[in-house]
């Protein structure tokens, strides 16, 4: 039997692995779809809809818009290549996790609004898988759920309170299941597990394959994508770039952690770095000992978030916070690597799974995510200026960007009685972050607070009062 011919040209392979495509991540080196030859904006012109940002937000918005109205002229502008940012570098969780609490969302609407928001997020995980299957996007989508373990008494106390909190909002096992130590261990064998939770509303993906697959689909539907085109300013019905200006009825800003590069938007979003590591493929014996038989995503209940998945080819892709915020909301390629954080991540894996203490790591990478001042993502469309904005996903954007795209579709097309437009995050914007140096001092102080809280809880088993006070202050 002969193997199928490799239809990827040498030029495509070189482009997929170029600096334009982002750091040498596990996702870049295992992607099924190569990057396509970029076509920059040829000059000034006009169109119906301009989308700034070639990531999930922009692509989902384009997809749902063109499906609803094929006559629309839609142009996507991307500074690098499609999927260069968080959409192509993330942990590969398509989850129903919404960054803001039910209590916070209820304060923006009411109890029913908060419940509808969460149910819409749960449905969105299924929607991502539905579209991937419908459009033939081979991104490894598999909904095996999310297991999170408690590894000290403080985490176990939070775990039980978390489950009771969901029950108080009327959610049962379809949302979250309290696990004993044995039940948690049946899913993933992490040391010192006291118990945990299981949430079925999460799937794993190969994130770069999803974003490149979406780009291929929208191109086939008539959407124009101009890469290597830098947007410098967004004005009412006008986008200014280094290659010319585009006039449009509607402009969608989907720039997430790169938003501060847009004139006038420097304080809209704080770009925070989250870093990742990837192991070599594990043996069958190692996987038999670890678990994750249904490719559940996994973490524990620490304050400074970590996240992992079992990849399609049998590796662990694992990441976490802890990198500093850089003064002035700077975003630079050298910030994608941080030896201290990458070492910390390897140490966490060795602590969770001692049999992997000497495992080979093949990849280290990172990227930035967008945090709004109140930690609440937003979707907003101002018809007078034509400017639509979506983002502020706080690292949970794979699925959230999908519902953002559908919501923007309904807003732009003025869909009457749209249930999506009635959700509490629609039609709002977060206030701006403080000027420097207050922003730098405050954001990095919170990161240090969470690191200290985790250390203190691991030693004493007592919940951190300072961490609890912070979460309460932002509505969690």
Q: How does pLDDT run along the chain (476 residues), one tens digit per residue?
A: 333 445 567 777 788 788 888 888 999 999 999 999 999 999 999 999 999 999 999 999 999 999 999 999 999 999 999 999 999 999 999 999 999 999 999 999 999 999 999 999 999 999 999 999 999 999 999 999 999 999 999 999 999 999 999 999 999 999 999 999 999 999 999 999 999 999 999 999 999 999 999 999 999 999 999 999 999 999 999 999 999 999 999 999 999 999 999 999 999 999 999 999 999 999 999 999 999 999 999 999 999 999 999 999 999 999 999 999 999 999 999 999 999 999 999 999 999 999 999 999 999 999 999 999 999 999 999 999 999 999 999 999 999 999 999 999 999 999 999 999 999 999 999 999 999 999 999 999 999 999 999 999 999 999 999 998 988 887 77
Q: Are 120 and 420 in contact (CB under 8 A)?
A: yes
**Same domain (yes/no): 125, 155:** no
Q: Which residues contact 259 (CB under 8 A, 6 or more apart)?
A: 253, 265, 268, 269, 271, 370, 391
Q: Is residue 23 part of a domain?
A: no
Q: Give a yes or no: residue 69 inside a domain.
A: yes
The verdict on 367 and 387 lying in the same domain is no
Nearest Cα residue to 94 out of 215, 209, 183, 185: 209
Instruction: Give the total number of structural domains in the chain.
Output: 2
In a domain, 11, yes or no: no
Are 58 and 135 members of one domain?
Answer: yes
Inside any domain, residue 185: yes
In a domain, 92, yes or no: yes
Residues 412, 67: Cα–Cα separation, whole Å: 13
- Indicate if 404 and 283 belong to the same structural domain: no
According to DSSP, the residues that pair with 426 across neighbouring strands are 379
Q: Give the residue from 33, 176, 5, 161 showing the smallest Cα distance to 97.
A: 176
Instruction: Classify residue 158: in a domain, yes or no.
Output: yes
pTM of the model: 0.96
Tell me the residue range of the domain where 293 lies. 146-200+271-371+439-473
**Same-domain check for residues 152 and 135:** no
- Residue 427 and residue 278 share a domain: no
* Same domain? 64 vs 114: yes
244 falls within a domain: yes
Residue 6 lies in a domain: no
Whether 420 and 458 map to the same domain: the answer is no
Q: CA–CA separation, 375 vs 269, rounded Å?
A: 10
Looking at the fold, whether 187 and 251 belong to one and the same domain comes out as no
Which CATH number characterizes residue 112's domain?
3.50.50.60
Clarify whether residues 121 and 218 are in a common domain: yes
CATH of residue 169's domain is 3.30.9.10
Look up residue 241 and give its two tokens. 């770039």
d(CA 105, CA 273): 26
User: Do 310 and 406 share a domain, yes or no?
Assistant: no
**Shared-domain flag, residues 196 and 290:** yes
Task: Give the list of residues 6+ apart from residue 386 with CB closer than 8 angstroms, or none.
Answer: 236, 237, 248, 249, 250, 251
């Amino acid at each position: 039997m002969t193997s199928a011919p490799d239809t990827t040209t040498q030029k495509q392979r070189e482009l997929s692995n170029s600096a334009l495509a982002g750091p040498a991540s596990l996702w870049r080196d295992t992607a099924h779809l190569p990057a396509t030859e970029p076509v920059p904006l040829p000059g000034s012109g006009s169109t119906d809809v301009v989308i700034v940002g070639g990531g999930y937000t922009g692509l989902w918005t384009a997809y749902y818009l063109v499906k609803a109205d094929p006559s629309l002229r839609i142009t996507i502008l991307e500074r690098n290549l499609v999927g260069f940012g968080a959409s192509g570098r993330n942990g590969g969780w398509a989850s129903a996790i919404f960054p803001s609490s039910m209590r916070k969302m209820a304060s923006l609407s009411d109890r029913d609004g908060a419940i509808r928001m969460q149910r819409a997020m749960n449905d969105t995980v299924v929607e991502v898988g539905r579209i991937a299957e419908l459009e033939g996007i081979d991104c490894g989508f598999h909904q095996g759920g999310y297991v999170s373990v408690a590894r000290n008494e403080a985490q176990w106390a939070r775990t039980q309170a978390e489950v009771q909190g969901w029950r108080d909002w009327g959610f049962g096992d379809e949302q979250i299941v309290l696990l004993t130590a044995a039940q948690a261990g049946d899913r993933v064998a992490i040391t010192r597990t006291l118990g945990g939770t299981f949430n079925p509303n999460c799937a794993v993906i190969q994130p770069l394959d999803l974003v490149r697959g979406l780009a291929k689909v929208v191109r086939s539907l008539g959407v124009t994508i101009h890469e290597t085109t830098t947007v410098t300013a967004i004005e009412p019905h006008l986008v200014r770039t280094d290659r010319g200006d585009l006039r449009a009825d509607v402009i969608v800003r989907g720039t997430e952690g790169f938003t501060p590069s847009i004139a006038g938007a420097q304080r809209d979003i704080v770009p925070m770095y989250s870093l990742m590591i990837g192991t070599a493929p594990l043996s069958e014996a190692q996987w038999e000992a670890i678990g994750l038989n249904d490719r559940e995503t996994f973490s524990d209940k620490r304050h400074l978030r970590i996240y992992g998945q079992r990849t399609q080819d049998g590796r662990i892709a694992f990441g976490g916070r802890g990198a500093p915020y850089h003064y002035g909301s700077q975003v630079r390629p050298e910030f994608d690597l941080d030896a201290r954080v990458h070492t910390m991540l390897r140490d966490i894996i060795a602590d969770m799974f001692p049999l992997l203490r000497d495992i080979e790591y093949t990849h280290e990478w990172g990227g930035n995510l967008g945090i709004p001042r109140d930690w609440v993502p937003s979707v907003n469309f101002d018809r007078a200026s034509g400017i639509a904005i979506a983002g502020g996903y706080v690292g949970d954007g794979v699925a959230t960007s999908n519902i953002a795209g559908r919501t923007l579709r309904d807003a732009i097309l003025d869909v009457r009685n749209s249930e999506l437009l009635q959700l509490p995050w629609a039609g709002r914007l977060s206030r701006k972050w403080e000027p420097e140096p207050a922003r730098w001092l405050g954001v990095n102080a919170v990161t240090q607070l969470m690191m200290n809280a985790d250390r203190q809880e691991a030693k004493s088993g007592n919940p951190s009062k300072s961490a609890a006070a912070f979460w309460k202050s932002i509505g969690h």
